[in-house]
Structure 1
Amino acid sequence: MRFHRLRAAALSPLVALAFAASAGTAVADTEINVGALRLASQAPTFIAFEKGYFKDEGLDVDLKFFEAANALSVAVAGGDVNYGTTSITGSLFNLAERGVVKVIAGSLSEDPKIPGAVILASKKAYDAGLTEPAKIAGHSFGATTAGSSFHYMLAEIAEKDGFPLDGVQLKPLQKIGAIVGAISTGQIDAWVIQPSIANKLLADGGAVKIGDYRDYDPDYQVTAVFTSTQIATDQRDQTEAFLRALSRGVKDYNAAFVDKTMDKPEVDALVDMVHKYVGTDTPVETFAPSLTEDSMRVNDGLALSVTSVAKQLEFLQKNDLVSHDVTVEMLVDPSYVTTR
Structure 2
Amino acid sequence: MFKKGLALVMIIPLIMFVIAGCGSNDQSGETGVKKKAEPVDGELKPLEKEATVTIAEDGSASGAGFYIAKEKGYFEDYNINVEFTKFSNSDQMMPALAAGKIDIAGGISSASFFNSIAQGINVKMIADKGHNIKGQSYFSFVIRKGLQDEIQSYKDFKGKTIAVSTKNGVDDYIFSQMLEHAGLTRDDVQFELMSNFGNMTGSMANKQIDAALQIEPLITKGVQQGVHVPFGDATDYAPKAQIAMVLGSPKFVNERQKVALRFMVAYLKGVRDYNDAFVKNKGGKDEIIKIMTQHTSLQDPEIWKKVRVTGLNPNGRMFVDNIKDQYKWYQSRGAIKGNLNFDKAVDTSLIEKAVDVLGEYK
- TM-score under structure 1 normalisation? 0.78
Alignment-derived partner of residue 260 in structure 1: 281
Normalized per residue, the structure richer in helix is 1
1:107 is matched with which residue: 125, 129, 136?
Answer: 129
- TM-score under structure 2 normalisation? 0.74
Residue pair 2:130, 2:245 contacting (<8 A) in 1 also: yes
Q: Residue 186 of structure 1: CA displacement?
A: 4.6
Return 5+ residue gaps in structure 1 as ranges.
Answer: 1-15
Taking the TM superposition and a 5 Å limit, the aligned residue runs for 1:1-340 are 17-22=41-46, 24-25=47-48, 28-65=49-86, 73=94, 76-77=97-98, 81-97=102-118, 98-112=120-134, 114-116=135-137, 117-123=139-145, 126=147, 129-130=150-151, 132-165=153-186, 168-183=189-204, 185-262=206-283, 266-280=284-298, 282-284=299-301, 286-290=302-306, 294-323=308-337, 325-338=339-352
Counterpart of 1:21 in structure 2: which amino acid?
Answer: K
Counterpart of 1:44 in structure 2: which amino acid?
Answer: G
Q: Secondary structure of the equivalent of 2:259?
A: helix
Residue pair 1:121, 1:189 contacting (<8 A) in 2 also: yes
Q: Residue 100 of structure 1: CA displacement?
A: 1.9
What is the RMSD computed on CA atoms of the aligned residues?
A: 3.2
Q: Residue 250 of structure 1: CA displacement?
A: 0.4
Q: 1:215 to 1:240 in 2, by over 3 A?
A: same
Q: 1:19 to 1:150 in 2, by over 3 A?
A: farther
Counterpart of 1:165 in structure 2: which amino acid?
Answer: R
Residue pair 2:143, 2:228 contacting (<8 A) in 1 also: yes
- d(CA) in 2 for partners of 1:70 and 1:177? 24
Q: Residue 76 of structure 1: CA displacement?
A: 3.5
- d(CA) in 2 for partners of 1:127 and 1:328? 43
Q: Secondary structure of the equivalent of 2:272?
A: helix
Counterpart of 2:349 in structure 1: which amino acid?
Answer: S
- d(CA) in 2 for partners of 1:153 and 1:118? 9
Return 5+ residue gaps in structure 2 as ranges.
Answer: 1-39, 356-362
Q: Secondary structure of the equivalent of 1:201?
A: helix
- d(CA) in 2 for partners of 1:327 and 1:252? 34
Q: 1:179 to 1:75 in 2, by over 3 A?
A: farther
The count of residues paired between Structure 1 and Structure 2 equals 312
Q: Residue 55 of structure 1: CA displacement?
A: 2.2
Q: Secondary structure of the equivalent of 2:253?
A: helix
Q: Residue 187 of structure 1: CA displacement?
A: 4.8
Alignment-derived partner of residue 12 in structure 1: none
Q: Which has the larger radius of gyration?
A: 2
Counterpart of 1:244 in structure 2: which amino acid?
Answer: V
Q: Secondary structure of the equivalent of 1:239?
A: helix
Q: 1:161 to 1:73 in 2, by over 3 A?
A: farther
Identity %: 21
